[in-house]
Structure 1
Amino acid sequence: MSYVASRDTIVQEHIDPLLKLGATDAAVMPFGFIRSLDHPKLMYNTDRQWYGETYGGVENYVQELHKNNIAVMIKPQIWVWRGEFTGDMLMKNDADWKELESSYEDFILLYVKLAEENHVELFCIGTELYNFVYTRPAFWEQLIKKVRKVYSGKLTYAENWDKVDKFPFWDELDYIGVDAYFPVAESKTPTVAEARKGWTPHKSMLKSLSRKHDKPILFTEFGYRSVDFAGKEPWQSFRQDGGTNLEAQANLIEALFDEFWDETWFAGGFVWKWHHDHLNAGGELNNRFTPQNKPVETYLRMRYKDTLVP
């Protein structure tokens, strides 16, 4: 599960619902903030952020999850003001690129140090940063080398679904990470069969990519909103008042599991997203991504616990 940052520390009662679900891994996500798509200064680990987005919060989450034998992926992310897409970041000149690189490297190495000290199993070096990667490949090549020198765990990068086959450094990492919001169905309430058919071209591409690089595919994020047409543009996250479609969400998740879970080249994935206050999260009137207190949570519990059976 992708474990959402909160304002406060987490304790055992916040972890228990994950254990009941049967989840074995959780993504913990520190955040940095950028003022605009062409602004080079990344702000992070400040007292203006929610606790769970900061160094202290990430360490708290990691330690509590590890106490319960839940493996962790630390997945640093950037938030651009007004929610603009990070893959579109583009600096105005070389000086700005260098400032961004310096800022981003410090951000990543701070959390790599935390990951190594806390024996974190997996570290994600970036999330949906297409323009940054393809405009400044030399920076990313040396960043991976620096991370390898101080971190002994596994590495991945989370590329957006439509650019995952264009990332140039999969051979240097351990998993091919994809935020898997592939369009798979046009219907208001897609059936499992329709969604499975919609996966055909995407699954073929991912399988070929895995073979090409001899690396397993990891869904660094996956999930669907509980709304009409949830399989048409699954990446859409804008707030929408009223109206839920719990069946659409459940069918789309079931189709994804049916297509991928037993494939030998598929490493698993992190559902987007899980809130620490389970009792008050989600629910049948909630049309956001979380599966909490919705029919899809029951389905996930069944599939996760089946996976745990020897």
Structure 2
Amino acid sequence: MTELATKPLPPRKKRLRAKGLASFGYGMLYVLPSLLLFGLFLFYPMIRTIYLSFFRSDTQGNPIEFVGWENFSHLLQSSIFHESAKATFLFVLYTVPPGVLLALTLALLANQKLKGINMFRTMFASTMGVSVAAASVIWLFMFNPAIGVFNKMLSTVGLSGVQWLLDPDYALLSVALTTIWMNTGFAFLILLGGLQNIDRSLYESARIAGVSDFYQLRKITLPLLSPTLFFITTVTLINAFQTFGQIDILTSGGPMDSTNVIVYSIYKDAFRNFNVGSASAQAVLLFLAVFIVTMLQFKLLEKKVHYQ
């Protein structure tokens, strides 16, 4: 048995193994810059955040005392964190389904072969070229209770104005409306590209068979567009959980913490209250929430995706 175990490999197998190791080494050499960047800007911050979530830190973010699960237990018992979690999930609910539906509708309209349709395609996709700060300032003026366009529209039909960003009942909806407008351009372009990749001969066969447009939408367009819809829904969902810029500019988490989503709560704890341990614990919980929701989405919705 010992002689068989120590028997040297044949020369051909040695060459093949050496060639495989050399190929692996060359491959790792090519991906090394990417691994370094991911390690520096993704993996290290994530590991550091998990580490800090178990400590009480000073104002500089340096850990000073190990507290174990205390930061997490305090958050789970905090009514402020509960309100932040509620605001986050409501914000996701307000932005993701309406945003995807709006982008899909615009893509279906822009996919028609009509004269001048390219102008409308450019208009629908134009929000991609507007930064978060610029878009937030534009909508800040539109929501202004005195000179904003929305209150002007209400006054023309005899209705009283609304404090869009100062009323807890309207603030989160207002920020959600801004976010939908900002994200429409990207989702529209991706969905339009998916529509244009569908074989046109399928529609020609359907028209020859005399089926209705609604039947074509339900049996041809949506099934063949399902991979693109799944991608857009997943990306939009993750982005909704991470929304920060427009909330910071429009409401700063108010009024009465009605727009204090978890990401903004992390920012306040880390850079205003200098409680890095609590902020890190919130970041870990947010990561777990996004991970679970994304996995559920893959588990439940991917079954309905048609890749061919």
- TM-score after normalising by structure 1: 0.22
- TM-score after normalising by structure 2: 0.23
Larger-gyration structure (1/2): 2
Higher relative contact order (CA 8 A, sep 6+): 2
